[in-house]
Structure 1
Amino acid sequence: MAQLTLRGMHKRYGDTHIIKGIDLDVRDGEFLVFVGPSGCGKTTTLRMIAGLEDISEGELQIDGQRANDLRPADRGAAMVFQSYALYPHMTVAENMGFALKMAGVPKAEREAQVRRTADTLRLTELLDRRPAQLSGGQRQRVAIGRAIVRKPKVFLFDEPLSNLDASLRVDMRIELARLHKQLGATMIYVTHDQTEAMTLGDRIAVFHQGRIEQIGSPLSLYERPATTFVASFIGSPRINLIPHPEADAPAAYRQLWDSLSATLPAQTHTIGIRPEHLQLADPHQAGIPAQVELAEHLGDITLIHARVEGLAGTVVLKLGEAGRHLSHGAALQLAVQTAHVHGFDAAGQRLAD
């Protein structure tokens, strides 16, 4: 296990500034997830930690030791790649033990370590197979096993589940959570999938344009997003972001804004409200008039995309039984849960509650 410290870290490729000053403390034994859209700098940061990319400016410490100039093999980090990177001509056992063989570990010790790791990952019956004989999920477990046998201080995962289908991704998320609990290891995990981030991470670092926009527990990011970017990136379905209406906006739009902004500061420029906090008004009360554009009936819930006159785009409601009968064109009366609104200023920054 390890503690990592990143201070003022930058990465430049010539005139292109990729990482723009990252400060981060990774706790011993935690599962930290880097999440963000493609090109935001999360994988580049992971590769700088691994030693696969030079650090242009700033400092990386691993367990208090400056690691900027250490070779990748000397950093105590093991990286698991998206592509698995298994040797096709080697068996599972040979793939898992290859790094130990290169390090000169005696054969008997090497085989014992591989077998212990295979037991942990439920790979024992597959040790004599080659990668072509394995499913995608099994190959990924072999890649993880190859990292485990090295007994690294920190595991670095670079979008390891993105090549798997949806059901396998769920299975592997469960496997990784179990593995983290069993090993108690420090893990940093890169993904663009916010569902993976929310379900796996002790904490999540949200990357945006080469910076960390916010870091915190999954629930803290969901319930108190620091910016409109974090608010819109974390959560599925996405949050509704309502901009301040112009003076001549239609009455329904102004009514929606007035209902949402009742408890927010006067300088509020944009209001966020999660789909589960927009509701249908009580039949005996007047609400905000809207019309159904699309109803997604998903079994236990229904997602309603509703049009409010004057508002660009639609608002989304997440409904239970009340949404089952709704379809395109239906007239609605909306109500809002004002206790759950988020106010942001003109720069997209959260306003004090």
Structure 2
Amino acid sequence: MLVADALPRRADVVVIGAGVFGAATAFHLAEAGVDVVVVERGDFCSEASGANVGLVSLSPRPPGLMADLCRHATDLYEALSDRLGREVHFQPTGVIRVGMTEESLADVIDWAERQRSVGIEVDVLSGEELRELEPLLPEGVLGGCHTPRGGFVSPFAVVAGYLERARELGATLVPMTTVTGITVRGGRVVSVDTTRGRIETDAVVNAAGAWAGEVSAMVGLHTPITPIRGQVLVTEPIAGLPHRVVMGISPSIRSTWAANGIIGSIQEDAGFEKRVTLAVMRDFARGITEMYPHLREVQVIRAWSGLRPKTPDQMLILGESEQVPGFVVATGGFDIGMMLGPAVGEVVADVVLGRTPRFDLTPARLDRFAA
């Protein structure tokens, strides 16, 4: 991926964070002709956007803003490779949600009815019917539902695709650079200080994920984010994995476009500790081989972790601060950030550009956490 050799002295917008929220926002801004700089403290896609299994689902949340964004993001993912001019490896497998106990099955059926109420196609099926659809489901599945739309993407390909296309449209990408301060003058953002120098700007998008609270504090705002660690294992290329997305089984496993197995993920409140832990890796291996005994001899080739940004109410934080005009926050994707990314990037760009977003973002406003 091409990156900037020098930090520009000025930009219309500075996006802080190069995960899927920041990358998608930068693309939409650059597409609109905005001079945008993306600043990333590490490498691109090195945090939560890189530590997930790439699930795309129409609605993993109850009806409301999050569900609306998921449905729109699915629409965008289905056409994203063409839009960006590079492959993001979207696999339209459909999604199966299963119940392993009578209680969890009742929850799945209730979920299916709620999705039907907002027009999503969902079929409720018995365990036998699900195994006819997906023969590699474990025998312990009592029943569940099937949604024909949805699937998987390659998280790294998605983020790289957005950033590469944004750069082609004029965006500047600045990795391995930490934001050290944001200057507010006359009540508005006027510049961003980094370890490589200062950028004068009219607007900042805080897409710093688990570190969004630290960035907001630079302008005197409270953004309550808890980092939640997720861990992922990747195996050698293998055959004999479920073709479709399967939700409701932990740990989950899926096949990538290159036939590798991706196993994950867990949710751990471990502060900002990112290390991969042997105990979790063993639990993953034990759980997967109990469900799929034929995988016992499969080799693990790598493992990694990332910190997912969780808000107190598990709702996104999206929109411009009323206290500091020009400061826009886009964080809180938690365990479905990659799923939401294309839709979040679109609506956040609308906010920056002064356009009315496709969806009412009131439930996601930052000031809901004001004391």
Tell me which interval the TM-score lies in, with the shorter structure as reference length.
Answer: under 0.3
TM score, norm. by length of structure 1: 0.21
Larger Rg computed on CA atoms:
1
> More relative contact order in 1 or in 2 (CA 8 Å, sep 6+)?
2
Task: Give the alignment's TM-score, normalised by structure 2.
Answer: 0.21
